[in-house]
Amino acid sequence: MIKKIKELLSKYGITFTTNSYIDSIVVEVDLKRLNDNPINYNEDASWEIIEGAYCTCLQDDPNWHFFYENTYNIIRCSMKNINPLLEYLEECGVTYKYNGTWIDGSSTVRGHREEFQQMFHAFSMIAIKGYNWRNITYMFDRVAHCFLNHQAFRIKPYRTMFGTMWEPMLVGENANRRAHYIGEIFGAKAMREKFEDRIKVYEEESKKGLAEVEALKEEHERIKEMMGVDFDEEDTADDEPEELVARSADSG
């Protein structure tokens, strides 16, 4: 195992001389599916596996973190914990693929590897420790605001360009880029089909609403006929009782 890691690292121009460096290497495992489950991905079961992995062998690992990837998940941990992790996955009957040393596909992450590693770990721990899911927007706001706030001195051009609205402008720009990215991943056709499906749902709900209104109108007419009363007819009676009218005349 160590020999293979050395060969892989040397391929990327990385060398090491001590075993302590081995312990700081972060390795990656893809979780595919449960052997006894016929479907390709079971979200609830996968989350239980991730929580179990943390409780079983990753509690003291400052580098561990996970990622949700729609149809599978990723767990990364320190090299020293890979054997306990793989043993746990095998005991749980999980089909997995060991990818070896984590080399991120994003040049941005690779350029700030240590910092992102700490953030990934912190975000994973927040998920593991749990919180009210309804507070997710507030959690996201804290994360986004703190990151941008700490960059304020380095992104003065944005602040100059947008004034006091520089922060929401950057958040909005990121949301737009993320939407385009998701669209590219799932395809424009798939995104359009999802949108059209949603429109159909709204149309059906509108039809149901109109049908309910018509039913209420029919019920209204039926009650009018049954009681011999026209609820829509204006009341032609005097606005004031006769006694009040008489009293008003006497006082005049």
Q: What is the pTM of this model?
A: 0.62
pLDDT at position 152, please?
93
Question: Which comes out higher in pLDDT, residue 28 or 84?
Answer: 84
C-alpha span between 13 and 36 (Å, rounded)? 42
| Closest of 77, 123, 84 to residue 100, by C-alpha | 77
* Choice between 149 and 31, residue whose per-residue pLDDT is larger: 149
- Which has more confidence, 62 or 39? 62
According to the model, what pLDDT value does residue 34 have? Answer: 44
Residue 114: burial class (beta carbons within 10 Å; 0-12, 13-18, 19+): exposed
- Superfamily of domain covering 2-130: Metallocarboxypeptidase-like (3.30.70.340)
Average pLDDT over residues 149-157: 92
The Cα–Cα gap between 126 and 140 comes to 12
The confidence score (pLDDT) of residue 190 equals 64
What percent of the chain lies above the pLDDT cut of 90? 30
- pLDDT of residue 56 exceeding 70: yes
Q: What is the band of 37 on the pLDDT scale with cuts at 50, 70, 90? A: very low
Does the pLDDT at position 33 exceed 70?
no
Burial label for 216, CB within 10 Å (0-12, 13-18, 19+), is exposed
pLDDT at 158 > cutoff 50: yes
101-123 pLDDT, tens per residue?
898 889 999 999 999 999 999 99
Whether 224 shows a pLDDT value over 90: the answer reads no
